[in-house]
Amino acid sequence: MIPTPRSAVPLLELDRVAKTFGGHVAVEDFTLAVSPGEFISFLGPSGCGKTTTLQMIAGFLAPSRGTIRLEGRDLTQVHPSRRGLGIVFQSYALFPHMTAAENVAFGLEMQRVSRAERTERVRAALAMVGLSGYEDRHPRRMSGGQQQRVALARALVIRPSVLLLDEPLSNLDAKLREEMQIELRQIQRNLGTTTILVTHDQTEALSLSDRIVVMSKGRIEQIGTPQDTYERPASAFVAQFLGKTNDFAARVEGASPARIVAGGWSAPAPVGLRGPVTISVRPERIGFSEEGLPGRVAARVFQGNHWLFQCETECGPAIVVRPNDGLAQPGEGEAVRLAWRPEDMSIRDMGLRAGAVA
Amino acid sequence: MSAAATTTLPAAATATPPEPRASRAPLWLILPALLLFVGIVLVPLAMTVLLSFHDWGQYKGIEPVLVLKNWHEIATDPYYAEMFGRTLRIALVTTVATALLGAPEAYILNRMSGRWRGIFLLLILGPLLISVVARTLGWALLFGGANGLANKLLMSLGLISSPLPFLFTETGVVIALVHVMMPFMVLSVWAALQRLDPQVEHAAMSLGAGPLTIIRRIVLPQIMPGVLSGAIIVFSLSASAFATPAIIGGRRLKVAATLAYDEFLNTLNWPLGAAVAVLLLAGLVLIVVGANALVERRYAEVSR
Ligand SMILES: Nc1ncnc2c1ncn2[C@@H]1O[C@H](COP(=O)(O)OP(=O)(O)OP(=O)(O)O)[C@@H](O)[C@H]1O
Ligand SMILES: [Mg+2]
């Protein structure tokens, strides 16, 4: 893990930032403090205001309300060309009439870096993204992944205080995307550049970030580490958006000690909780066992390294994922019992947001 | 005039960038167009070329023999060199002026929002909807001698003491031609601007480039093919323009097109007129094809 982000002095701060287009609210009440060296992802469905927020940080859009500070300095009055941020656009936005090297050199020319140093830094930047030997290519003669690397090199070579990435990998095919994710993370770790990544791909956000900002309809739903947001989602939206989850209708029964009961499965209930509740458990945290919530396997799908089971239970449908460990698995139509550890579930209901049962 | 008009057609046609070849369509589909092309372009053209080698005398008229007399006259008489020199000069100055005025105009137009853009586009394209003759006569009315409206106004304001010379001057022809040709340049540049990724300007900005640098280093190189193909169109249309030089330049300031017209209809020396027209056409085709090839080679990266 990166040094605990929250304790460090924030590099970039967004304070109750909002943006309205006409009457339409695109971003509302966006507050975030980014520490030096942190990798942050803005994650959310299409149209939730990710790009709008990024463009406000970059300076291409002026916030309707709120302030943005970089190293304590108010950014709102600073022209985009003076902010010193590195940006990789979704369309890459390479200069088509320049070669890869010229593209990368452009920002250094603007900073009036001497020719000798420029040449050296361009060479190093292209080498860093694995494009040595492509200096004289024009963008139109490069593949999507190569163009993406040029765009990354171009943004990084100016040593930006913050790197902004707007869905930089969404145009790549799945395999290349995975490779680039690993590479992006490595480069970011090596350089220590503070990075904000916009994405609607939850795996990308989970695998790359120190912290994830989950957004919905212009609002922040949750800010937390990937593990936090995945295992302790703050809302039903976050739970649904970050991977599959099973919601079971359960009840709190008895008093001192009260127990949470879902069919044949039960566990000690947190203090003060009563009545009907919804518990949610990730598919990979449910196992088949001797006792627990009774159900029946409705469908079974083989997916290579794991099995996917669709089960029906008296508390609602359930999805179960089991690793393909070579052991015998229940077949379709078989009666099973589902069980999970109490710490693997989160309890939501009646406006009450409780974390995992301790 | 009809011969001169037809001879300018292919030149204008070559100015537009070549269409990508349709691959699957059956070849015979081009037959009607091909017949039309052969019938109204190639055959008259061949006849004009042939005509330019015929002999002509004041009293004997046209003699269908093959002589180099007309070509020899054009090559040796400095009068023709002056005519073609002037034609070239007017076309070049007009082209440069439309590029200098039209490219910024298109850029500003492209940056305007919705309704304003519509209004200004109409203003720019408006001249295309009015006959060249009417437009050029308008210029003549504004600046024609001491009675021209603009001249009268400027003189009564005391800004000038004698009327600005406009009619029968090269400057007058160029001004009127620039007005006539502007839409072609603006449309051509605008088409190039439409292909520009708006994020590219943002990218340059984020790298520290100011507005002027962005225009010079990022926008201009990318719309250059548009400017150049606009220039090719404007150049070929200006060099072969007839109505504007005929009205503004009259018979005192002749260019190649009006010269050919005069030889055909006033002197009745068709063979000499044909030679002038053929030379104009050949020169234009050479310049346009050469320029087009240069543009395509130079800007292969930008224009895909
Ligand atoms: N220039 C604009 N004018 C009016 N509304 C806009 C403008 N730009 C964005 N919006 C609206 O603001 C909202 C947020 O847009 P934004 O582009 O930030 O979404 P996003 O989260 O980046 O989505 P995606 O994942 O599809 O890129 C959307 O509802 C969009 O329609
Ligand atoms: Mg977006």
Q: What's the pLDDT tens digit per position in B37-95? A: 999 999 999 999 999 999 888 888 888 888 888 999 999 999 999 999 999 999 999 99
A153 and A271 both lie in a single domain: no
**Residue to substitute from B197, B201, B207, interface A, most A β-carbons within 10 A:** B207
A227 and A312 both lie in a single domain: no
Is A51 a member of any domain? yes
B207 touching A (Cβ < 8 Å):
yes
Which residue in A has a C-alpha nearest to residue B225's C-alpha? A97
Q: Answer with the one of A220, A241, A262 that is the final residue of a domain.
A: A241
3-state secondary structure B53-100: CCEEECCCEEECCCCCHHHHHHHHCHHHHHHHHHHHHHHHHHHHHHHH
Mean pLDDT throughout A231-257? 84
For residue B8, is it left (φ>0), alpha (ψ between -120 and 50) or beta? alpha
The answer to whether the Cβ–Cβ distance between B204 and A95 falls below 8 Å is yes
Is A105 a member of any domain? yes
The CATH code of the domain that includes A254 is 2.40.50.140
Nearest to A101 by CA among A58, A46, A139, A62: A139
Q: Answer with the one of A210, A241, A272 that is the final residue of a domain.
A: A241
For residue A213, the ligand closest to its alpha carbon is 1
Q: Which residues of chain B are within 8 Å of residue A85 when distances are taken between CB atoms?
A: 206
Partner-chain residue, chosen from B200, B205, B213, that has the shortest CB–CB distance to A95: B200
Ligand 1 atom closest to the Cα of residue A53 is: 18
Indicate the pLDDT class of residue B20, thresholds 50, 70 and 90.
low
Q: What's the pLDDT tens digit per position in A157-209? A: 999 999 999 998 887 788 888 888 888 999 899 999 999 999 988 889 998 99
- Domain interval for residue A104: 12-241
Is A172 a member of any domain? yes
C-alpha to C-alpha distance for B49 and B259, rounded to whole angstroms: 17
A229 and A262 both lie in a single domain: no
Q: What's the pLDDT tens digit per position in B101-129? A: 999 999 999 888 888 888 988 888 887 88
Nearest to A259 by CA among A318, A352, A347, A338: A347
A98 and A233 both lie in a single domain: yes
A224 and A351 both lie in a single domain: no
Is A173 a member of any domain? yes
Task: Kindly list the domain boundaries of chain B, sorted by start residue.
Answer: 79-303
Instruction: Please tell me the distance between residue A188's alpha carbon and the centre of ligand 1 in angstroms.
Output: 27
A286 and A219 both lie in a single domain: no
Is A4 a member of any domain? no
A28 and A139 both lie in a single domain: yes
Indicate the pLDDT class of residue A354, thresholds 50, 70 and 90.
very low
Residue at token pair 């400017």: B227
C-alpha to C-alpha distance for B247 and A169, rounded to whole angstroms: 62
A192 and A278 both lie in a single domain: no
Q: How far is CA B229 from the centre of its chain?
A: 12
Q: Answer with the one of A241, A276, A297 that is the final residue of a domain.
A: A241
Is A292 a member of any domain? yes
Residues of A engaging B, defined by a Cβ cutoff of 8 Å: 58, 60, 80-87, 89-91, 93-97, 106-107, 110-111, 138, 140-141, 154-155, 158
A232 and A254 both lie in a single domain: no
Q: Give the CATH number of domain B79-303; options: 3.30.70.1730, 3.40.50.970, 1.10.3720.10, 3.40.250.10.
A: 1.10.3720.10
Sorted by sequence, the CB contacts under 8 Å of residue B109 that are 6+ apart come out as B117, B120, B121, B124, B186, B190
Indicate the pLDDT class of residue A90, thresholds 50, 70 and 90.
confident
A111 and A192 both lie in a single domain: yes
A255 and A210 both lie in a single domain: no
Indicate the pLDDT class of residue A349, thresholds 50, 70 and 90.
low
CA of A108 vs chain B CAs: smallest distance (Å): 8
The CATH code of the domain that includes A139 is 3.40.50.300
Question: One-letter amino acid identity for B99?
Answer: A
Using only C-alpha atoms, chain A has a radius of gyration, in whole angstroms, of 24
Predicted local distance difference test score (pLDDT) of residue A326: 83
Partner-chain residue, chosen from B206, B208, B222, that has the shortest CB–CB distance to A97: B222
What number of CA atoms fall less than 13 Å from residue A75's CA on the CB side? Answer: 30
Query: Domains in chain A: how many in total?
Result: 2
A135 and A104 both lie in a single domain: yes
